[in-house]
């Protein structure tokens, strides 16, 4: 039997959904607390409009669910399932996204400050989401039957 066939896909999809909710919740807090102002100032400094429209946010939320599922599936294939494999997968994704965002910011001439803060928020969101995902995938050790006291 293949590794993919042996996964509990309902659990993986649910853990991916949890990853998505936590990731976007952390981002939402950051956005409404300070990131919106950072991006507004950044795009104003170069005379452009914000790339973060409602449509882009919607697509991003939809796009993060498969990311969460992929991270959960990776973690579920590790034995024993723990937080570490989820963190490793999230760190690899964060690194790729940060490099891509940095390259895009150079081309678009965005201030480095907003990209650095964006990357830090992204890391915090991925770590929080990954801890939640790892927690949801953990396996409980088998419990011994309670002793009845009869010998």
Spell out the SS3 assignment of the chain.
Answer: CCHHHHCCHHHHHHHHHHHHHHHHHHHHHHHHHHHHHHHHHHHHHCCCCCCCCHHHHHHHHHHHHHHHHHHHHHHHCCCCCCHHHHHHHHHHHHHHHHHHHHHHHHHHCCCHHHHHHHHHHHHHHHHHHHHHHHHHHCCCCCCCCCCCCCC
> In whole angstroms, what is the distance from residue 133 CA to residue 122 CA?
16
This prediction's pTM: 0.81
The encoded tokens of residue 99 equal 């490099």
**52-90 confidence digits (pLDDT tens):** 888 998 999 999 999 999 988 888 887 665 667 778 888
Residue 109 pLDDT greater than 60, yes or no: yes
**Rounded to an integer, what distance in angstroms lies between the CA atom of residue 148 and that of residue 104?**
66
146 has a pLDDT exceeding 80? no
What confidence score (pLDDT) does residue 110 get?
A: 85
Q: 10 Å Cβ neighbour count for 136?
A: 20
């Amino acid at each position: 039997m293949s590794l993919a066939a042996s996964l509990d896909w309902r659990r993986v999809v649910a853990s991916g959904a949890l990853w998505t909710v936590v990731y976007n919740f952390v981002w939402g807090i950051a956005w409404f607390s300070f990131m919106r102002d950072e991006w507004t100032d950044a795009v104003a400094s170069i005379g452009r409009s914000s790339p973060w429209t409602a449509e882009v946010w919607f697509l991003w939320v939809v796009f993060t669910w498969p990311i969460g599922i992929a991270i959960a599936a990776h973690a579920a294939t590790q034995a024993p399932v723990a937080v570490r494999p989820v963190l490793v997968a999230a760190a690899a994704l964060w690194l790729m996204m940060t490099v891509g965002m940095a390259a895009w910011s150079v081309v678009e001439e965005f201030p480095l400050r907003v990209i650095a803060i964006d990357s830090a928020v992204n890391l915090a969101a991925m770590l929080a989401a990954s801890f939640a995902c790892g927690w949801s995938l953990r396996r409980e050790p088998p419990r011994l039957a309670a002793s009845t006291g009869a010998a």
